[in-house]
Amino acid sequence: MLIVIEGISAAGKTTYASQYAPALVPELVCPAPAGDDAAVGEYWSDRHAERWQTGLALEQTHGTACFDTDPLKIHYAWCLWQTGHGTRARWLATVQATRARLLRREIGFADVIVLLEPDEQQVREQQRQDTRRRRGNFAVNVQLQAPLRHWYSVLESLAPGRVMFEGHLQPHVAGGAPREDRYSVGLLDALVDTAQTKTP
């Protein structure tokens, strides 16, 4: 079983996900690439496909693996676009690159997504208290809460039972079997189409 812990910066993802150590795929930390939209989309989809493969290996060993943030991270560029900090072209480039990898089963949909949704005051307090991490772009990330929930609400409507909302109020995720739609291109296409037509 593959579990994703998702939420905006300082929502508590790493703390929540750490309960699954050593079966934990940490958040990706690497410099942003330069280049046109297609090159950037390829770069990020490559990195996230690597995380997916790490998760599969951990699942084979431990039965369950947990990702600190979703490896199928096309939602991030979409949220930036929705809040005026990105473009539709950049998002679609990421979608295109990710779709090609989904067809090759190099990346996929996790079986469960736990969405952490503490309120803004709590998030800001957690950010203030965490002196170990630099949280670049925090002011932008705080604005992503509403579009992030919308994105995963769309996914839940298309694949019921996959998303656990208000996950910060629930201490643990029960184990389960892998879903059959991990590599569903139809699900990806429906998610992308719906996200374009039903914006927050």
Each residue's pLDDT, cut to its tens digit, for the chain (200 residues) gives: 999 999 878 788 888 888 898 999 998 887 778 789 999 999 999 999 999 999 999 999 999 999 999 999 999 999 999 999 999 999 999 999 999 999 999 999 999 999 998 776 766 666 666 666 655 676 777 778 899 999 999 999 999 999 999 887 777 777 778 999 999 999 999 999 998 876 65
CA dist., res. 145 & res. 74, Å (int): 15
Among 6, 23, 185, 14, residue whose Cα is nearest residue 113: 6
CA 164 to chain centroid = 13
Among 122, 103, 116, residue whose Cα is nearest residue 184: 103
Among 66, 93, 65, residue whose Cα is nearest residue 77: 93
Q: What is the pTM of this model?
A: 0.88
Q: Where are the domains of the chain?
A: 2-197
Residues across the chain: 200
The CATH code of the domain at 2-197 is 3.40.50.300
Pairing between strand 24-25 and 2-6? Answer: unpaired
